[in-house]
Amino acid sequence: MDFIRKRRSKGKPARSLALIVLIQLATLTASAQYMPVGPDDVVDLSPVISGRHYQYWPGGQVHHQPLVVPYIVHGDRPWASDLIILDENTATQTDTPAHMMPPQHSGLPNAHYWGDLTVEKVPAWQLVGEVYKIDGRSMLDQAPPGVSPLFTMDLVKAAEAAHRPMGPGDAVLYWSGYDDRHDLPVPEDRRLIVEPVGGTVPGWPAPDYDAAEYVGSRGVWLMGIDSPSMGGLGPPKYAAQGPEGMFENPLALESHLGHFKYGAVHTEGLINLGRTPNGSMYIALPVKHENSPTVETRAAAIVNPALASSLLEAVKAKRVVDLSVTLSMEHPVWWPGRGVGRHVFPYSRVQPVNYFDGPFGPYWVNTHIMDAHTGTHVDPPAHYGPPPGFDEAAFDETTRRALRDFEAAHGTLKRTERTSDRIPLHWFMGPARVINVQHLVGTTSREDWPASPVITVEDVRRHERLYGEIEGGEVVLFQTGHTDAHFRRFERGRTDQSIKSPLDGLSEGWPAPGPDVIAYLAGKGVKHVGIDAPDMGSVDPVESMKTHWAAVNHDMIFTEYLIGVGQLPSKGAFYVFLSPRLENNHGGPGRAIAILP
């Protein structure tokens, strides 16, 4: 302030100087940069979801195995997709309080304030935390058949004595190695869940109510466990008397409620906690289904100490934003196609599969039926890249003509088997470059619709001149503003402006890059490109093919249908997208977040 006063006395307005200082501070903030992620910097904490593994609950009258059905295959069409039918209580999953707590107004036993906290309402900062492990390896399989060995208060306090007191910002992980040992393919697949529930082998380790309640009371908002469930098998410690006993689920309910009474969420079905040291950054991203209590999830840990430390500083300050659209049957989250009858499978939620006052126990769970490219999702190379041995003569004439033009400019289209479960984990995250291309909106002529404004290499270079050269390991996000402007619930008499209207030529398409832009970014070492529009490709199907084929040839991935990208600076944030690790999936609905500088 003294400096400002002196400048004013010489005729320099304080307001001008203050503006200069603010600009300099903004420049310093924008230039702050998280480091890129290498293959050794991150650990996958989720198993592959496979029909060859029994990773779902054995109550066959309610639950079912996961299905990934390749219903659109490379042939006359240039792309492939799958129909996903998934019980949200499968493999790695996030439980919110609404899974075991009825809404407060319901009058049902265990109803609570947090009973309305379904997954889409969980703030993004609550999905990330500092790894804090409670070691229970010594009790693995050390229990009678059909009974779970328990994490007790003594084990929790022993962890605090050995490490430090736990608290807000920690991700407390109950570690025994159970899923690492028992999540196996047939014929050993029944050992994970079926045989313990059947009472023929010891159950999985789980916390008792007192341990869970203590962890929640410390202000911890995120927990996880490498067992199929946070709830153990065996008789309850606190038996409910009278009518409430009718709703009792022995022991399993208690440990869930110990966390949920504090509004915490937890992840079940983890693996690889032995490779994840304390102090790492834990990330568990559930698909953003509307009104769902327990949801399929991908979990990972950043184990590079320097990167984890810098990211956790922002996480504990809650500088985390959600970049994902909400999935519901009332939103435009699936591909409707141009005209009539060219749509993919619409998003459907079977709700509820089971509810609190039903005959199968006091919990709520849904099933989801959706195309692999629903909502915010990943495009792996195998989406547009045909498999080895594919004969391009199977394509229709339009596709063959487009392919000839593409190959003349960009080389022979590669064959690939890189589905989403085969994408290296570190490709899913990295320092974010946000390239604002909103100046392109409104630059096409109505007579040319359906058409998309073209994002050019010069648009990328303009960004580089302002913010520095794009580097390998960065994630490039195109900010078009399209989703923010047009994503809304369906309304009678109003055409969807997000996807359907642009495809049908009733409004301008979203800005989209051509194949030369993808090749340019690949030359910089970029493996991941995202966009806040329904698709990386143009609304012109031929141009869209070429953009996606360029990603195939450069072995890159896209995340599409982001929202809220404007919350990020042009440079300085850290981007993460994770989708459930479904076997042989040609897409992947998931969750995108960003950690701000």
Asked whether residue 30 carries a pLDDT value surpassing 80, the answer given is no
What is the pLDDT confidence band of residue 352, given thresholds at 50, 70 and 90?
A: confident
Structure tokens at 557: 């991935």
Q: In angstroms, rounded to a whole number, what is the distance separating the alpha carbons of residues 329 and 289?
A: 10
Name the pTM for this structure: 0.93
Cβ pair 255, 209 in contact under 8 A? yes
Mean pLDDT of 537-566: 98
What is the pLDDT confidence band of residue 358, given thresholds at 50, 70 and 90?
A: confident
Asked whether residue 265 carries a pLDDT value surpassing 70, the answer given is yes
Asked whether residue 191 carries a pLDDT value surpassing 90, the answer given is yes
Q: What is the pLDDT of residues 141-170, one digit of tens each?
A: 999 999 999 999 999 999 999 999 999 999
What is the pLDDT confidence band of residue 33, given thresholds at 50, 70 and 90?
A: confident
> What pLDDT does residue 220 have?
98
Mean pLDDT of 60-71: 92
Mean pLDDT of 234-258: 77
What is the pLDDT confidence band of residue 351, given thresholds at 50, 70 and 90?
A: confident
Q: In angstroms, rounded to a whole number, what is the distance separating the alpha carbons of residues 57 and 198?
A: 12
Asked whether residue 29 carries a pLDDT value surpassing 60, the answer given is no
> What pLDDT does residue 356 have?
87
Mean pLDDT of 96-123: 95
Mean pLDDT of 90-110: 95
What is the pLDDT confidence band of residue 181, given thresholds at 50, 70 and 90?
A: very high
CA proximity to 592, closest of 378, 308, 334, 280:
378
> What pLDDT does residue 19 have?
40
Q: In angstroms, rounded to a whole number, what is the distance separating the alpha carbons of residues 16 and 445?
A: 42
Kindly report the average pLDDT of the chain as a whole number. 93
What is the pLDDT confidence band of residue 244, given thresholds at 50, 70 and 90?
A: low
Alpha helix (H) residue ranges in 524-594: 541-553
> What pLDDT does residue 61 have?
84
Mean pLDDT of 447-451: 97
> What pLDDT does residue 486 have?
98
Q: In angstroms, rounded to a whole number, what is the distance separating the alpha carbons of residues 465 and 568?
A: 19
Non-local (6+) Cβ contacts of 451 within 8 A are 444, 445, 505, 508, 509, 538, 539, 540
Secondary structure (DSSP) of 253-289: HHHHHHHHTTT-EEEES---GGG--TTPEEEEEE--B
What is the pLDDT confidence band of residue 77, given thresholds at 50, 70 and 90?
A: very high
Domains of the chain, first to last: 90-318 (3.50.30.50), 331-339+372-595 (3.50.30.50)
CA proximity to 175, closest of 211, 212, 208, 206:
206
- Detail the DSSP E strand segments found in 202-328: 206-207, 222-225, 265-268, 281-286, 294-302, 320-322
Mean pLDDT of 443-458: 98
Q: What is the pLDDT of residues 564-595, one digit of tens each?
A: 999 999 999 999 999 999 999 999 999 999 99
Q: In angstroms, rounded to a whole number, what is the distance separating the alpha carbons of residues 389 and 77?
A: 16
Asked whether residue 24 carries a pLDDT value surpassing 50, the answer given is no
What is the pLDDT confidence band of residue 209, given thresholds at 50, 70 and 90?
A: very high
Asked whether residue 27 carries a pLDDT value surpassing 50, the answer given is no
> What pLDDT does residue 26 have?
42
Q: In angstroms, rounded to a whole number, what is the distance separating the alpha carbons of residues 398 and 78?
A: 10
Token match 């991935």: residue?
557
Token match 């509810």: residue?
355
What is the pLDDT confidence band of residue 47, given thresholds at 50, 70 and 90?
A: very high
Asked whether residue 82 carries a pLDDT value surpassing 80, the answer given is yes
Asked whether residue 346 carries a pLDDT value surpassing 70, the answer given is yes
Q: What is the pLDDT of residues 455-465, one digit of tens each?
A: 999 999 999 99
DSSP-assigned letter for residue 535: -
Tell me which long-range contacts 182-185 makes (C-beta under 8 A, separation of at least 24): 183/47, 183/53, 183/55, 183/91, 183/269, 183/271, 184/53, 185/50, 185/52, 185/53
> What pLDDT does residue 248 have?
57
Beta-carbon neighbour count of residue 15 at 10 Å? 10
* Percent of the chain surpassing pLDDT 90: 87
Token match 């609190």: residue?
356
What is the pLDDT confidence band of residue 223, given thresholds at 50, 70 and 90?
A: very high
